[in-house]
Chains A and B, each alone.
Chain A
Amino acid sequence: MKFGVIVFPGSNCDQDVYHAIGSVLCQPIDSLWHGATDVSGYDCLVLPGGFSYGDYLRAGAIARFAPIMPAVIDFARAGGLVLGICNGFQILLEAGLLPGAMRRNDCLQFRCQWTYLKVENNTTPFTGRFHAGQVLRVPIAHGEGNYYADAETLAELERKHQVVFRYCTPTGEVTPAANPNGSVGNIAGIINQEGNILGLMPHPERCAEEILGGTDGRELFASLVDWWQRGDCLGA
């Protein structure tokens, strides 16, 4: 399974993703510069965390118009697997590939900490190794992760099981105290209706090896590889 990780000016988690997929999962992966315009030949594209274009104006707003983005959007709309992590999630929102928007954290602080995530949907290509309701431990590091969607969009996300991860307590309770940034519905990650585009604020690449203090993130990447090797099709 061939991965591509997109490098924008200001991305700073691309090397971590490269390592997690290339060295830990031993899958082929290339770094793709934001100035490239071709993404053919890849099975999954990863938009990594960081501060693309300095997060100026709004996080992800300028990266969304990078030269590579028309190709990424075509790839995603054609059903290609796309994973947006942190700043990558923000870029997917700005590009309209996922619904909603990010606001500044309600605490106004940059939050860099471990969080617990409840797996709300384990039927996606990204979550097959988890069981429904499983609690994961994955770190976050962001100042603008306060997910917002209007009531109608939120209801549709819930109805179509597009909320994939929610911030929770270590025992899996979804409470206001477990919400690090004020996101509506404790939302930490969502998927598009078709099921091929996932965005999440927590960093799976930062917990993909024992030496990093956890391996739950590795299972997310491994789920993708399982899904690919099984030859599953979305909507089948």
Chain B
Amino acid sequence: MLLARIYVTFKPGVLDPQGEAVAGGLKAMGYGGITSVRVGKYLEVQLDLDDRDRAGQQVEEMCRRLLANPVIEEYRYTLEEPAGASREARP
């Protein structure tokens, strides 16, 4: 079993209206040091696989085809074993 933790975020330069609204809220609360907030998505995908390379290929393909829209988003993920060992891959 492997657990993929997937983070999907807007590419730099793509306007994030939600992030701007959250930044505005935080500033209104008195947090003066904020320069930017970006809101993204976090997904956990459980894979019935032990082969990290195969799992990595599958997650990579899932991200490219469905989980992220390459026009506006980028993604990164980690693969974890139940023991908790992790490794991060960036496309």
Enumerate chain A interface residues (CB-CB to B < 8 A).
57-58, 61-62, 65, 93-94, 99-101, 103-108, 146, 148-150, 182
Contact = CB atoms under 8 A, between A and B. Distances in A.
Chain A interface, DSSP helix/strand/loop, else mixed: loop
Interface string B56-90: 00000000001101011000000000000000000
Given A101-B72, A105-B17, A106-B15, 12 more contacts: A58-B69, A62-B66, A94-B69, A100-B71, A103-B15, A104-B18, A108-B17, A108-B21, A148-B14, A150-B71, A182-B15, A182-B17
A62 B71 CA distance: 16
A61 B41 CA distance: 14
A108 B18 contact: yes
A182 B71 CA distance: 17
Contacts of A108: 17-18, 21
Interface residues of B, number: 12
A101 B17 contact: no
A182 B69 CA distance: 19
A105 B20 CA distance: 12
Contacts of B41: 57
A103 B14 contact: yes
B17 A106 contact: yes
A92 to B, nearest CB: 13
B71 A101 contact: yes
Contact of A61 (B14, B15, B69): B69
B86 to A, nearest CB: 24
A105 B21 CA distance: 12
Contacts of B69: 58, 61, 94, 101
A28 B67 CA distance: 38
13 contacts: A57-B66, A61-B66, A62-B66, A100-B71, A103-B14, A103-B17, A106-B17, A107-B17, A108-B18, A146-B17, A148-B71, A182-B15, A182-B17
